[in-house]
Amino acid sequence: MSAVRTRIAPSPTGQDLHIGNAYTALINYVFARAHNGQFIIRVEDTDRTRLVTGAEDRILASLRWLGIPYAEGPDIGGPFAPYRQSERLDIYKKHAEELVAKNHAYYCFCTPQRLDQMRKDLEAKHLPPMYDGLCKKIDSKKSKKRVAAGEKYVIRMNVPDEGTTIFHDVIRGDISFANILIDDQVILKSDGFPTYHLGVVVDDHIMKITHIIRGEEWISSTPKHILLYKFFGWDVPLIAHVSVLRNPDRTKLSKRKNPVWVSEYKAKGFLPDAIKNYLATMAWSYPGGQDIFSVDEMISKFRLEDIQTTAPIFDTEKLRWMNGEYIRHMKSEKLKNIIYEFYNKKYPEKQIETVLPLLVERMKTLAEFETLAGFFFVRPPKHAVRSELRTALESSEWNHDAMEKTIRDVAGANAKEIFMELRVAVTGKTVGPPLLESLEILGKEETLTRIPSSAGR
């Protein structure tokens, strides 16, 4: 058996890598690794109307940030380059023409207006809004002439009316569709770009993809792909459809209802390993019920057939818990570096290190570092503390000595309460690291960096 090759084929039509794509990428990557195969990226940028500039770079960057490496891709090349469909137009055109020659496809000259009207009529009659095959009846010599004359055309696949198309889904079993219900799908658009259907089939074959693992939203177009493979006379790769991630209201995960871009999770301070771990549990459970596991552990136990068929709800609460779990179990040196970078070096490393022991157990995301540590770094707004403190704070250098003196002078035995008052002034909360330990920590540093608090708190 040939080496396992999997892929994800994102389209640069969004802001960034969709978390759902990250999920299928993870599964494809893990599966490939589990079989000593390769996982590759192919960018499907065939819809120029929805193309978002910079999206491809961001998708690739997010994949790298997540730690899902690919063996071949648009930026790193590979034996089947280019890996960007917009750069392979001649290949699709050649294949589409090949199908026309074999009478498995035909030229269509219908205008969008006619198509629109036709579909409306069909729907009014409660019939499936499929192409009526008008151009299929045109004599092939005649249509060739029209094409040569420069008339605008599209190439549609010629789906037989009889029979059924069956395919075997590795995780769902056999799925069949009556051919009569399969539309004469456009495979080459009038702008010379292929549609998804032609693009994937041709490229998956050329790039020797052995396993197609993608979201379940593709199930209904799979018979078209199967037909295309047959038309070309190619072997069909193994196919598996994983469930789509959902919003809490059970609809397909969407940006209107949930953060969907990987960059959003990064900005909120989620760790790549935690995200991957959580994503993994969305459809697969570790033998023995272990919740926390690494990608390597997953690779050693993963089996495609064990993937869950039910579409899971993406539960941010559990992700947060898991993220906290990863933060707590991380080496403090590493955590420090991550926080240092996360805040763009805003806080000195040494000081993060000093303060961190008091916070690790309280942080669920990196972004919570600032909320929790604010007390150490942010000067409280003067108007928020009682008047006795104000003057003292005014002159204070805000180091441990000054602070302790201030507290002792003003509050005496009530040091703790005063301390609490300062914390509330800064964070707006009474909760946080223990006060006495905080005081000690403050004492360790000559002077912590003070960032003026925003006015008006």
Residues forming the active site: 255
> How many residues in the chain?
457
Minimum Å gap between C-beta 212 and RNA is 13
Q: SS3 for 43?
A: strand
When the beta carbons of 191 and 341 are compared against RNA, the nearer one is 191
Query: How far is the C-alpha of 72 from the C-alpha of 313, rounded, in Å?
Result: 32
Minimum Å gap between C-beta 394 and RNA is 26
Minimum Å gap between C-beta 167 and RNA is 10
Place of tokens 């709800």: 313
Task: Identify whether the C-beta of residue 334 lies closer than 8 Å to the C-beta of residue 327.
Answer: no
Task: Identify whether the C-beta of residue 48 lies closer than 8 Å to the C-beta of residue 194.
Answer: no
Count of C-beta atoms within a 10 Å radius of residue 159? 24
Query: In 91-224, which ranges are E strands?
Result: 105-108, 154-157, 164-169, 173-178, 186-188, 211-215
Query: How far is the C-alpha of 400 from the C-alpha of 447, rounded, in Å?
Result: 7
Helices (H) and strands (E) in the chain, counts: 18, 11
The 10 Å CB-count burial string (b at 16+, else e) for 294-309 is ebeebeebbebeebee
When the beta carbons of 106 and 131 are compared against RNA, the nearer one is 131
Minimum Å gap between C-beta 128 and RNA is 4
Minimum Å gap between C-beta 96 and RNA is 12
Strands of 186-188's sheet in order across:
105-108, 154-157, 186-188
When the beta carbons of 325 and 445 are compared against RNA, the nearer one is 325
Minimum Å gap between C-beta 345 and RNA is 26
Counting beta carbons within 10 angstroms of the beta carbon of residue 397, is it exposed (0 to 12), middle (13 to 18) or buried (19 or more)? exposed
Minimum Å gap between C-beta 129 and RNA is 4
Query: How far is the C-alpha of 262 from the C-alpha of 119, rounded, in Å?
Result: 38
Minimum Å gap between C-beta 164 and RNA is 9
When the beta carbons of 38 and 281 are compared against RNA, the nearer one is 281
When the beta carbons of 129 and 428 are compared against RNA, the nearer one is 129
When the beta carbons of 129 and 391 are compared against RNA, the nearer one is 129
Q: What is the Cα gyration radius of the chain?
A: 30
Which amino acid is located at 26 in the chain? Answer: L
Task: Identify whether the C-beta of residue 230 lies closer than 8 Å to the C-beta of residue 24.
Answer: no
Counting beta carbons within 10 angstroms of the beta carbon of residue 380, is it exposed (0 to 12), middle (13 to 18) or buried (19 or more)? buried
When the beta carbons of 306 and 341 are compared against RNA, the nearer one is 306
**Residue 437 CA, distance from chain mean position:** 40
When the beta carbons of 190 and 396 are compared against RNA, the nearer one is 190
Query: How far is the C-alpha of 382 from the C-alpha of 328, rounded, in Å?
Result: 35
